[in-house]
Amino acid sequence: MMGNDAQTPDAAASVDFEQVQSTERFQELRKRHRSFVFPMAIAFLLWYFAYVLLADYAVGFMSTKVWGNINVGLILGLLQFVSTFAITGWYVSYSNRKLDPIAAEIRNEIEGHEFDKHGNLVSGVTK
């Protein structure tokens, strides 16, 4: 063995995760997460499959020239990327406002330490 022989306690080993998952705060966190993720996933998949179906069955529409060699299909294809980044940004914003504060509370209760709004341990403060 090299270096430090000291054993550090594994905080996760002493946590009853089933008990944590049954708490009201964890259920609220799960509800908020699902209320964003599921509808957004369904909306994006509908948008994606609409694009695929249009590309396959509405070739005339998709090949309609908009400007120069730019057609409707190209624009909708690029909008797939734009919507992916927009949804990601929206989720990050939603998570920062609605999910992270609850997750930090739960983590604080589990670990017994206080954290700042970015999830960093506040020096010298323990419960």
CA gap 105, 26 in Å, rounded: 10
pLDDT-derived band at 111, boundaries 50, 70, 90: confident
pLDDT-derived band at 8, boundaries 50, 70, 90: very low
- DSSP H stretches of helix in the chain: 17-21, 24-57, 59-62, 72-94, 100-111
Read off the pLDDT of each residue in 47-53 and give the average, rounded to a whole number: 97
More confident call, 1 vs 100: 100
Read off the pLDDT of each residue in 4-28 and give the average, rounded to a whole number: 72
The pLDDT, as a whole number, for residue 14 is 65
pLDDT-derived band at 117, boundaries 50, 70, 90: low
